[in-house]
Structure 1
């Protein structure tokens, strides 16, 4: 491996782009693929920087140095232009989830804007009506600028200002929660430190090509798949997130066609690819160019890696191509990684001893764990006892702590939290960050075993139990406020956890003779608001939920009581084990008949959730039937195949019920590419 640092003389991101223009102005920097994999918006480094500078000139007319600029565009070349325009203008970019029709999206955007008070919002032309309506409904005083409408000739007016390496580049807000947002403050120095490490350990260079389908408001998408290749001079090819989640074959086809050397994704995309891509489809792929498929952003499953590697071996996938990693936005991105010349490591440990916070090799009563990579030079990683906070030796499980130049300056305007999180002392040495994750170190490799915090990750998105609990108890007076606990438990399938709600009934709820409708209402409300499905709902008598003497919910104690059968249950629902979908057993479909299409969708939903078809109501919203974002995209893909039509992934948002969706699809006059939203959805990860 080349130990030379990447662009060691640059100290800020303006210098990075100016270097790439000086050394390769005509080299292709970035392009994007449509949902049918047609390549467009191909920009050289010179063309890209001219567009970014032209937009920076306009930004400078409305901002002062250090002002915040909110980016709410879908992931695209224009998004990257908007981001680097902020860099050129000396303002702080604020990456945000682009809202669609869900109220949750707007609540999150309001929370972010309220926290950082942006001076400008950057968006695309197709979002004009949405942004206008949003600003009209709030008190935010923001200028509006549409990316792509700038005169490129104005790029010559750009003048470089003084940039310190400690100046902020952008704020990365925590994803997934509707609660108080936390804006991670990332500086030029932080980002250069981490991207140099990423580029070095994955061998990224000017001869390579990265395909990125991850959303650009996500740290893995922006830092790992945009900033790092920009630093290394690696060509970037963007794909639509929803298109890949809907049909993972598109990602592997793009890798095959464009001879990509690197890509990345959360654990779930590996499962989707293995389970959905047929042997016939796989035979058309050539994955021999792929040197690294980085696995991160959610817990890594050892079996998933083995299954993916074995299944695609005859498509040319190298046995060491999958690269488990560990990191978080507070470290820019990467803390540990499986480097270019390394293979992923698996360790069999004793299950019982692991529960006692000790990793002991075992072949009996064993649990297989995948390493999240090697601790890399430049980051100091330690394991400490959860209670005593003293350092632990190798193979002992504790909280993961780290420090280094990549670690951020803290959260935007949260000094008390910053002191608790980013300035911990270990062995007299200050400056360690509390990750909230649990794990152990063995042979300089990090094994992540769980979380100390109560947050959990589903499909790459962070969820906080109190958010789901609040949504559930808000459905009516039958449930006790502050009387619920949400937690995860292992599922029968080792690659999937079950999401459990244990909830106290009020006296009114306890008086009900039948709780089935109440359970359905809880299920649908959580799915509607958070786009995630509960798999277990447990109803208890009032005052039966485990709590501390001060009244705080004991989620860990509740989980243990549920698993050990110690809860006194009034009513319970469990989602039946999902059988593998045998689409050949589904009814025939007449694509011109709404009733026939509705019947097929009804059968599909019933099969998906292993429930009788008569329990599926065609007028009810799909999200209320329990479909999460991955389910909805899978359904759209299957409909696309059956109807031989190109369908956008957001159909279930625009036509939310089976009846509405079937009526739309049966209309022969509709544009098969249009569903009312032309922008791709990105809420998958």
Structure 2
């Protein structure tokens, strides 16, 4: 393993910006390979050293400076690969506000992209030649002369010598992180250099990152967990980072485990669905010679964590040296830059809490216990409190309320949205008129020093004055009928003259077709099974009544892949509700295949 010479494991140097960080490391360890790209998730491809990364950044920054873009916004649209990293640092070096975004595919995501361009007031798009061609050929950009599109791989390295270092302070804006929009329209979170340095240092210390620890990631670069949690943390901590594309992982989850084993990875983080995918898709582990003993931090974060998933993953990987104490949980959000808290060695993975008690925002035990995940504690220079969202009174330890955060990692606000900034980032509770807090919109409670996350406040279903957590209902629906096992489910409520009503929308596995499709020869040929819609609906209705004492107002089956999700895989329940109310759902029974 390469060593970084001249840099201590935990430097006492004070850096105001990531430019200071990279400049220092390009000078002291110029040839150290900090990023290794893995083609198809396996073959070693392109690399970036500290020196090469800085040279790329300076060249891109020089071009941006030549376009007089200091202080302006630049949209970053890149496929999986290392070009994005150079472009991001190019923006930092040019004092241009980076706006990472999901690149369009076959005109998909164009509507969201146009909204981000307008909201961020981006003056330039940084991308590759291939994506540039796709963009200019779309109708949205056909007559658009207001924005420049630059393919950064065409920039000459000699441009780096023309770079003029800008004056940057820690409160300047580093980039805009557009929220995924799981419960509302996407908003641009203003992340400053100070926010970044604090949060990345927090990540480094929490997960013991240094020049002797490797990182691996398949997470999208435009997502805060992939960008800050892996890429920027690698540069800051000197931890070599092995990167692969999200699609390579999705198609073959075992490639992630291969990388973790081959490169003796110390830290890798992923959402709950990724661990679940590994459990279900990785077969025949008996012939594997993986060694996961170096994986000290197997972190689950970014979406509601299922305790059973974590345990199942551990049981599957235990024979290969994964230690139980390596399983960690985390809580964070874009508005707090990224990380808020993480569990530590010895922390209990979850707390048994009464489902009935949660309906009344109380933390207690009874026979109907459910598992609420322990997301650990925050750092000493940050404060997390639980507040009643209606009365704004601070909650006691045995009460569920909204999670509020105060500290150096809390972002500056929402871009070009003072009203939402005031409502979200400048909250005060009844017993403290001096300090302001970030209202996360998440519900939870604190026991001891640990934060327990119980759900999104805006997603909470309130029926007859009682609170029901949609992810809890969705999990139960998955088990109601074999055709719904592992299906994507969305639970939400609608309001009519009689009050709140429970609606459930569920996808169904592709192998099942409606019983009304009577071409049995074709069904057999395609290895499909016919199934009765009413049978499934009846089972779901019975299960909901038994588990929650709730009456199901409506249950809709839709085609696989049609329930809307955010770029990070979270179900967009508000969008599901909107599609339901406007009759825009793609119903399962409506499709008869060509034959």
TM > 0.5 between the two? yes
Task: Rate the CA distance shift 1:547–1:624 in 2: closer, same or farther, 3 A.
Answer: closer
Does the aligned pair in 2 maintain the 1:7–1:231 contact within 8 Å?
Answer: no
CA apart distance, 1:324: 0.5
CA distance in 1, matches of 2:428, 2:102: 35
Match of 2:333 in 1: 328
Task: Rate the CA distance shift 1:424–1:314 in 2: closer, same or farther, 3 A.
Answer: same
Q: Does the residue aligned with 2:177 lie in a helix, a strand or coil?
A: strand
1:270-309 to structure 2, matched below 5 A, reads 270-280=275-285, 283-309=288-314
Task: Rate the CA distance shift 1:496–1:625 in 2: closer, same or farther, 3 A.
Answer: closer
**1:113 aligns to 2:117 (yes or no):** yes
Structure 1: state its 5+ residue gaps.
457-486, 499-531, 539-544, 564-572, 583-597, 613-622, 632-656, 663-685
1:341-356 to structure 2, matched below 5 A, reads 341-343=345-347, 345-356=349-360
1:41-440 to structure 2, matched below 5 A, reads 41-103=46-108, 105-134=109-138, 136-137=141-142, 139=144, 141-176=146-181, 180-280=185-285, 283-339=288-344, 341-343=345-347, 345-362=349-366, 364-426=367-429, 427-428=431-432, 429-440=434-445
Does the aligned pair in 2 maintain the 1:6–1:200 contact within 8 Å?
Answer: no
Structure 2: state its 5+ residue gaps.
1-7, 462-468, 481-486, 513-521, 537-556, 566-590
Does the aligned pair in 2 maintain the 1:282–1:315 contact within 8 Å?
Answer: no
Match of 2:569 in 1: none
**1:546 aligns to 2:495 (yes or no):** yes
CA distance in 1, matches of 2:404, 2:183: 26
Match of 1:603 in 2: 527
CA distance in 2, matches of 1:495, 1:292: 32
Does the aligned pair in 1 maintain the 2:427–2:438 contact within 8 Å?
Answer: yes
CA apart distance, 1:350: 2.1
Does the aligned pair in 1 maintain the 2:488–2:506 contact within 8 Å?
Answer: no
Does the aligned pair in 1 maintain the 2:446–2:452 contact within 8 Å?
Answer: yes
What is the TM-score when the length of structure 1 is the normalising length? 0.69
Q: CA RMSD in A?
A: 3.5
Q: Does the residue aligned with 2:410 lie in a helix, a strand or coil?
A: coil
Task: Rate the CA distance shift 1:600–1:437 in 2: closer, same or farther, 3 A.
Answer: farther
CA apart distance, 1:490: 3.4
CA apart distance, 1:79: 0.4
CA distance in 2, matches of 1:611, 1:603: 21
1:31-73 CA distances to partner (integer Å, 9 max, x unpaired)? 2111151111112111121111111111111133211010011
Match of 1:568 in 2: none
Task: Rate the CA distance shift 1:434–1:52 in 2: closer, same or farther, 3 A.
Answer: same
Q: Does the residue aligned with 1:204 lie in a helix, a strand or coil?
A: coil
- 1:23 is aligned, of 7, 23, 28, to 28
Q: Does the residue aligned with 2:451 lie in a helix, a strand or coil?
A: strand
Does the aligned pair in 1 maintain the 2:123–2:148 contact within 8 Å?
Answer: yes
CA distance in 2, matches of 1:383, 1:87: 35
1:192-236 CA distances to partner (integer Å, 9 max, x unpaired)? 011111110100111111111111111111110111121111111
CA apart distance, 1:365: 2.2
CA apart distance, 1:402: 0.7
CA distance in 1, matches of 2:165, 2:439: 37
CA distance in 1, matches of 2:183, 2:17: 33
CA distance in 1, matches of 2:294, 2:288: 16
Task: Rate the CA distance shift 1:490–1:361 in 2: closer, same or farther, 3 A.
Answer: closer
